[in-house]
Amino acid sequence: MSVGEKQGPGSLPWTVYCDGSAMPNPGRMGIGAVITAPDGSRHTLSQATHTTGCNNEAELLALTLALQDLRERGATAVRAYSDNSILVEQLGPPGPEPVAPIVRLAGLFDEARALLGSFDDARVNWIPRHRNGEADALARAALGFGPKPPARRHRKRR
């Protein structure tokens, strides 16, 4: 892009923080996502599914629904963040060693890969759980649960 050329509304990256909950695990699934547009405007997704599954399935559904929402909004670039290492290993940049697929969730991973591939620029990154609290709270709220209490830090005894 040359200097002075205008960027379209979808050319700057949108940000997604997504999380899923299954209660019990496996059990009822809730999904949560916080979506931020390049202009800083935000909206959230919080819903329960009509099926049961495991937490990894709920995480994938949260990402998939958020990506579908972004496609409808005309986004062309996305940075997605999840605290689920399995999701990031399967969908993120390839590491030095190949990651074995999860056969039971292969269809959902394929759908997520196809959605990610529909963007001009899409990246999935891992973040620590404490940096994904809002998306987690939205997923839990969809199932009628409050947010998790903050993790207690253990102090070393002297």
The structural domains of the chain, with segments of one domain joined by +, span: 14-142
Q: Return d(Cα 157, Cα 114) in angstroms, integer.
A: 50
Q: Tokens 């209490």 appear where?
A: 149
Give which of 99, 88, 97, 98 is closest to 122, Cα–Cα.
Answer: 88
What pLDDT, on a 0 to 100 scale, did the predictor assign at position 151?
65
Average pLDDT over residues 61-87: 97
Position 157 pLDDT exceeds 90: no
CATH number (1.10.3470.10, 3.40.50.2300, 3.30.420.10, 3.40.50.300) of 14-142 reads 3.30.420.10
pTM of the model: 0.87
Q: Which residues make Cβ contacts (< 8 Å) with residue 80, sequence separation at least 6?
A: 15, 16, 17, 18, 63, 66, 67, 116, 122, 123, 124, 125
Which of the residue ranges 6-10, 36-40, 82-86, 149-153 would you say has the lowest mean pLDDT? 6-10
Q: Return d(Cα 93, Cα 122) in angstroms, integer.
A: 10
Compute CA 93 distance to the chain's CA centroid, rounded to the nearest angstrom. Answer: 15
Which of the residue ranges 8-12, 14-18, 69-73, 108-112 would you say has the lowest mean pLDDT? 8-12
Residue range 17-65, pLDDT digits in tens: 999 999 999 999 999 999 999 999 999 999 999 999 999 999 999 999 9
What are the C-alpha distances in Å from 71 to residues 6, 81, 131? Answer: 21, 17, 25
What pLDDT, on a 0 to 100 scale, did the predictor assign at position 134?
97
What pLDDT, on a 0 to 100 scale, did the predictor assign at position 2?
31
Give which of 67, 57, 76, 52 is closest to 17, Cα–Cα.
Answer: 67
Residues 57, 29 contacting (CB under 8 angstroms):
yes
Percentage of the chain lying above the pLDDT 70 cut: 89
